[in-house]
Amino acid sequence: METGCKRFDGIIHFTEILSHHENSYWIDFENPSDEESYILYSDFKFHPLIIEDTIESSSPKLDVFKDYLYMVFHTADYVKEGELGSREIDFFLGKNYVVTYHREKFPTLNHLFEKCLRDDRILSRGADFIMHTIIDNLVDDYNNTLKMVAATIDSFEAEIFSGNPGREILRRIFELKEDIAELKKTALAQRDMLWRFSRGEYKLTSPESLIYFRDVYDHLSQVNDKADHFRDLLTSVMEAFFSITSEKTNRIMKTLTVFTVVLLPLSLIASIYGMNFKNMPELQWEYGYYFALLLMLVVMIVTLVIFKIKDWL
Let me know whether 239 and 291 are in one domain. Answer: no
Domain assignment present for residue 7? The answer is no
Half-sphere exposure of residue 44: CA atoms within 13 angstroms, side-chain side: 30
Domain assignment present for residue 3? The answer is no
Closest CA to 20 of 5, 3, 6: 3
Whole-angstrom distance, CA of residue 152 vs CA of residue 255: 35
**Total domain count, the chain:** 2
Q: Which domain holds residue 289?
A: 253-309
CB 55 within 8 A of CB 90: no
- Contacts of residue 175, defined as CB under 8 A and 6 or more positions apart, other chains included, come to 82, 83
pLDDT in tens, 241-250: 888 888 788 8
Higher pLDDT, 290 or 21: 290
221, 246, 271 - which closes a domain: 246
pLDDT in tens, 269-300: 888 777 776 677 766 777 777 878 888 888 88
pLDDT in tens, 38-76: 989 988 999 999 999 999 888 999 999 989 999 999 998
Q: The domain spanning residue 279 has which CATH number? A: 1.20.58.340
Domain assignment present for residue 24? The answer is yes
Let me know whether 32 and 125 are in one domain. Answer: yes
246, 263, 284 - which closes a domain: 246
Higher pLDDT, 82 or 221: 221
Let me know whether 83 and 172 are in one domain. Answer: yes
Domain assignment present for residue 167? The answer is yes
Let me know whether 276 and 203 are in one domain. Answer: no
Res. 15 pLDDT band, cuts 50 70 90: confident
- Contacts of residue 189, defined as CB under 8 A and 6 or more positions apart, other chains included, come to 59, 60, 61
Let me know whether 174 and 284 are in one domain. Answer: no
Range with the poorest average pLDDT among 20-24, 104-108, 292-296: 20-24
Q: The domain spanning residue 61 has which CATH number? A: 3.30.460.20
Let me know whether 112 and 224 are in one domain. Answer: yes
Let me know whether 191 and 279 are in one domain. Answer: no
- Above pLDDT 70, what percent of the chain? 92
